[in-house]
Amino acid sequence: MRTSCLAGQSCSSAGQRERSSIIIRLCCLRISSSGLPCPNTPRLPHTPQTSGEKDSNSQFNSRLHLVHTSANQTPPPLNSHKKNSNKQRRHRSNVSPGRYSVRISPAAPSKDTNDPHCSPPDLFYNDHESQKYTTSSRIQTIQTTMTQRALSLLSLPYPSLILDIGCGSGLSGESLTASNHTWIGMDISASMLAVALDRETAGDLFLADVGQGVPFRPGTFDAAISISAIQWLCNADTSDVSATGRLSSFFEGLYAALKRGGKAVLQFYPKNEVQRGMITGAAIRAGFGAGLLEDDPGTKNVKLYLVLTVGAGAGEGGADDVTNMVRGLEGVDVIDERRKGRDGGRDGVGEGKKGSKSWILRKKEQGRNKGKFVKADSKYTGRKRRPAF
Amino acid sequence: MKILTTNYLTCALRTCKSHPNSFPLHFRDAELQQDSSPFNASFIANILPRLDWSALLTTATELGFTNLPLEKPTVVDERVGMALHRILIETQVVEGKLVCRNCGHEYAIHQGIANFLLPGHLGISPLLLVWGGALAEIYV
C-alpha cells in the first residue's frame, strides 16, 4: 500500500533526491518518496564506507528506529519507585551479560586497565590513555563527524546552552563552540579533564558521575549531547550500585534538566543487544520520546544515536515527535517499532471490542461449537438499530 | 566555572534536590578571574528567561558585584546585555568551594573544574533507598 504520511509529505516537500523511505511496520504501511535534496541540510565530511556501491550523493545510509513509547508520554509518577525497584531486581537476577561488577580484592587477578570492558571509565582513561585518545587524529575526525551529525539532528536555531555528557577532553565541545553554542561538560575521568584544561576549551567542566544524577535545576538546558559515553553507565563497578539504577538516575536527571521541547542526541557504542535495550528502555521509562538512529547499518562503521525529545510534539499522531528531528536529513529510513495504543493493539489482533460485530460473531461461533441453539447469522447480525423518533 | 553555570547548579544529592535550600549553592573562598570573550546578544536573550534572578543576585552579592538591577530586565539592550555578559560569561571562579546550605556538602573547585563526584555512601542508588524505605515500613 502506498500512501503519504506526515513525515513522508515533509520529505517530499523539502525536496529530496535520495531515497528516503519510511516504514511503519505495525500498521503495515510502506511509504517511499523521492525528490530533490534539501538545500539547507549541512554537508558533512565523508565517512569511510565499507560497502562499495552507495549513492555518491548521500553521506549516510541511516535508519531511525522509533522505539515503543507510551501514547501520552507522561513522565512516571514519583511514587512509582517500588514497581521500578521490582523490575530492577528482576533484571538483576535474570540478565547478566549487560552488567558486570569489578571488585578490587587482593585475591583477584591483576586488572588489565587497557580493556574497556573490565575497568571503570575513570580508571580506564588514565593520563596515558587520555593523551592517546585526544591526540589520535583518527579519533578526532570521528568525534568531530559524530558531533556534527548530532548537531544537525538537534538543529538548534539560535545559540543555546548545551550539556555535554562525557565531554572528555572537549573534542566534541570544540565543535559546539565553533557553532556558537555555550556548553557545560561533565566527565568522570580527571585525566581527560586535565587534557581538556590544557587544550583551553571554552566550556565549563565538571568532574561528576552522571550515573549519580545530573546536578542541574529543572529546565536548564536547550539540548544535550553525548559522544561515545553512555555505554559506560552499563558498568556497575561496585556492589552497591546496579547498571539499571545508574541508567535510570541518569535519564531521570537528564529529563528534568532539559527544558520542555528540549532534545538530546546521545551517540553510544553498546556492547551487545542487551545493553542497547537497557539504555533505550531506561530512556523511555524516564519519559523521553525516543528513536534510535543507525548510521551505515550493517557495516563496520555503524554508529548508533539515541535521539530523545522532551514533552512537546509527542501529542499528535505519535509519529510526530522524533521523526521531526530527521526531517530534512538525507537518506533516513524510519522504522516504527512502537506498540500501538491500548485498544488499537487489541483491534489489530482481531478480537474486536465487546459488543462489536466481530465479537458477536465470535461468541455465536463459540456457542455453536458447544452445541447450543444459536440463531443463524444474517446481514442484520450485530447491526445497530435505526435511531427511533 | 562561569557564574552562569552556578545559576543552574543544584546540590548533587538526590535527597537535597527537592529542598529549597539546596539552590543556589554558595561560594566560599572564591578566587575570581576575568576573561574576555565575544559578546553574544542572542545567547543572553535566549537564557535570560531561564535565569533565576534572585539566586543570581545572591551569588553576585557574595562575590562582590553590586551593579545588577534588582528586577530582572525584560528587554536586553546593549548596556544590560554587556553587563550580564560580563558577569555571567566572562567572570570565572578558578579556585574555591561551593557549599550546599541544606546538607552542608562542600564541592571543591580546582582550576575552574568543580568536583561533583559523590562518595559512595552519599550517592546512594535509588534501589537502596527504596529497599531502606520498604524495610522501615515493615518495622514501623
The three three-digit cell numbers of residue A63, written as one number: 535508519
Report pTM. Answer: 0.68
Question: Comparing A46-60, A150-164, B8-22, which segment has the lowest mean pLDDT?
Answer: A46-60
Q: Which of A6-20, A65-79, B116-130 has the highest mean pLDDT?
A: B116-130
Q: What is the pLDDT of residue B64?
A: 87
Q: Are A18 and A55 in contact (CB under 8 A)?
A: yes
**Which one of B10, B127, B129 would you mutate to disrupt binding with A, by most A Cβ within 10 Å of its Cβ?**
B127
Query: Cβ A217–B23 below 8 Å, yes or no?
Result: yes
Contacts of A71 (CB under 8 A, 6+ apart): A318, A341, A342
Query: Cβ A159–B8 below 8 Å, yes or no?
Result: no
CA distances from A360 to A344, A350, A379 (A): 19, 13, 13
Distance from CA of B124 to the nearest CA of A (A): 8
Q: Are A64 and A333 in contact (CB under 8 A)?
A: yes
B87-90: long-range contacts, CB 8 A cutoff, minimum separation 24: B87/B3, B87/B60, B88/B2, B88/B3, B88/B4, B88/B7, B88/B44, B88/B47, B89/A182, B89/B2, B89/B4, B89/B37, B89/B40, B90/B34, B90/B35, B90/B36, B90/B37
What mean pLDDT do residues A165-185 have? 91
pLDDT band at A102 (very low <50, low <70, confident <90, very high): very low
Q: Where does residue A28 rank: exposed (0-12), middle (13-18), buried (19+ CB within 10 A)?
A: exposed
Q: Where does residue A328 rank: exposed (0-12), middle (13-18), buried (19+ CB within 10 A)?
A: buried
**Which one of B121, B125, B128, B138 would you mutate to disrupt binding with A, by most A Cβ within 10 Å of its Cβ?**
B125
pLDDT 10s digits, A37-53: 333 333 334 434 333 33
Q: Are A308 and A261 in contact (CB under 8 A)?
A: no
Q: What is the pLDDT of residue A311?
A: 77
**Domain chopping of chain B, boundaries:** 3-115
Residue A298: alpha-carbon gap to chain centroid: 18
Concatenate the DSSP letters of all residues of A200-235 into one string: T-SSEEEE--GGG---B-TT-EEEEEEES-GGGGG-
Establish, for the pair of chains A and B, how many residue pairs have beta carbons separated by less than 8 Å: 109
The three three-digit cell numbers of residue B3, written as one number: 557564574
CA of A79: which chain B residue's CA is closest?
Answer: B130
User: Looking at per-residue confidence, does A266 or A8 come out higher?
Assistant: A266
CB contact B32 to A (< 8 Å): no
Query: What ipTM score was computed for the predicted complex, to two decimals?
Result: 0.84
Do strands A20-24 and A29-33 pair parallel, antiparallel, or not at all (unpaired)? antiparallel
Which residues are registered as beta bridge partners of A88? none
Nearest to A207 among B10, B37, B117 (CB): B117
CB contact A348 to B (< 8 Å): no
CA of B12: which chain A residue's CA is closest?
Answer: A215
Q: Are A294 and A62 in contact (CB under 8 A)?
A: yes
pLDDT 10s digits, A315-333: 433 444 677 677 666 667 7
A 253-292 residues with CB < 8 A to B: 259
pLDDT 10s digits, A259-301: 988 899 999 999 888 899 999 999 989 988 888 888 888 888 8
Q: How far apart are CA B13 and CA B116, in angstroms?
A: 10
- Map residue A31 onto helix, strand or coil: strand
Q: What totals of helices (H) and strands (E) does chain B contain, helices first?
A: 6, 4
What mean pLDDT do residues A207-232 have? 91
DSSP classification of residue A388: P
Return the closest-CA partner of residue B89 out of A227, A214, A159. A159
Return the closest-CA partner of residue A32 out of A373, A255, A332, A369. A332
What mean pLDDT do residues A101-105 have? 34
**Which one of A123, A163, A207, A250 would you mutate to disrupt binding with B, by most B Cβ within 10 Å of its Cβ?**
A207
Nearest to A242 among B9, B116, B127 (CB): B127
Q: How far apart are CA A150 and CA A263, in angstroms?
A: 11
CATH of domain B3-115: 2.20.25.10
Measured between beta carbons, the chain B residues lying within 8 angstroms of A182 are 4, 40, 43, 89
Q: What is the pLDDT of residue A340?
A: 53
Q: Does domain A121-315+322-337 have CATH number 3.40.50.150?
A: yes
Q: Are A164 and A230 in contact (CB under 8 A)?
A: no
**Which one of B2, B4, B5, B23 would you mutate to disrupt binding with A, by most A Cβ within 10 Å of its Cβ?**
B5
Which residues are registered as beta bridge partners of A273? none
CB contact B138 to A (< 8 Å): no
Nearest to B42 among A159, A242, A246 (CB): A159
Q: How far apart are CA A23 and CA B8, in angstroms?
A: 41
pLDDT 10s digits, A108-118: 333 444 455 56
CB contact A176 to B (< 8 Å): no
CB contact A111 to B (< 8 Å): no
Q: What is the pLDDT of residue A43?
A: 36
